[in-house]
Structure 1
């Protein structure tokens, strides 16, 4: 999807957006500029054009200054860039492992009795084509 130079520019931008912290990897360390970007672009093809325009606007510029200018002058492009970056970041296995989040078990709802009551009403009413 993206050319090598575009991916290099994107990698520089995303490390400004999501730098490494004590336990969380940076965006490039999490693989955001690689296959994960392609994956999220597959989920949101509507953002491909503003995303590509955002990367083109930032090519050859200081990443931090380019992001500031993009946010101020082209908010739609900035939003596409940041949304795809965040989405790809949280798809990363390294990020998921660093979060160490185990969702609580979901409770099972046993609704069989209510379904049987609803079906009994249907059976009592009978089959009628309207």
Structure 2
């Protein structure tokens, strides 16, 4: 789908958009330009053309200047690039492991008796079209 050169441009731009912090990995550390990018493009095939146009127009440019140019002159391409970079980033196992998130435990609720009681009225009433 994407050429190795386009993937390299994507990695460079994503690294500029998502640098490393004290606790979170950078975009290239999260390996966003490989299988994760392919996975996100599978979810959003409508963004492929805008992404490839953004990557082709950004090739050989300074990453910050390329991003500034896309944001002002081609906002649709900039949006495609940023949505896909963020999507690939948050799919990364390295990012998930670095996030300080503990989901709340789900309480087990077995309300089968309540559901059966509620459905008993429907069964007694029968099929009625109103």
Q: Same fold (TM over 0.5)?
A: yes
In the TM superposition, residue 126 of structure 1 has moved relative to its aligned partner by: 3.2
In the TM superposition, residue 119 of structure 1 has moved relative to its aligned partner by: 1.6
User: 2:33 is paired with a residue of what secondary structure?
Assistant: helix
In the TM superposition, residue 57 of structure 1 has moved relative to its aligned partner by: 1.4
In the TM superposition, residue 106 of structure 1 has moved relative to its aligned partner by: 1.8
The separation in 2 between residues aligned to 1:69 and 1:112, in whole angstroms, is 58
Q: Give 2:74's aligned residue.
A: 74
- How many residues end up aligned between the 2 structures? 130
Matched, 1:20 2:20: yes
User: 2:107 is paired with a residue of what secondary structure?
Assistant: coil
The separation in 2 between residues aligned to 1:50 and 1:97, in whole angstroms, is 31
Q: For structure 1, which segment, 102-111 or 28-37, has the greater mean C-alpha deviation from structure 2 after superposition?
A: 102-111
Q: Give 2:121's aligned residue.
A: 121
The separation in 2 between residues aligned to 1:126 and 1:13, in whole angstroms, is 62
Cα RMSD (Å) of the superposition? 1.7
Q: Give 1:90's aligned residue.
A: 90
The separation in 1 between residues aligned to 2:22 and 2:126, in whole angstroms, is 66
User: 1:78 is paired with a residue of what secondary structure?
Assistant: helix
Query: Structure 1 length as normaliser, TM-score?
Result: 0.91
User: 1:33 is paired with a residue of what secondary structure?
Assistant: coil
In the TM superposition, residue 127 of structure 1 has moved relative to its aligned partner by: 5.0
Q: Which runs of 5+ in 1 are unaligned?
A: none
The separation in 2 between residues aligned to 1:85 and 1:9, in whole angstroms, is 12
Structure 2 vs 1, CA of residues 99 and 129 (structure 1 numbering), >3 Å: closer, same or farther?
Answer: closer
Q: Give 2:46's aligned residue.
A: 46
Q: For structure 1, which segment, 108-117 or 15-24, has the greater mean C-alpha deviation from structure 2 after superposition?
A: 108-117
- What do residues 95-120 of structure 1 show as CA deviations (whole Å, max 9, x unaligned)? 11111422111233333233122221
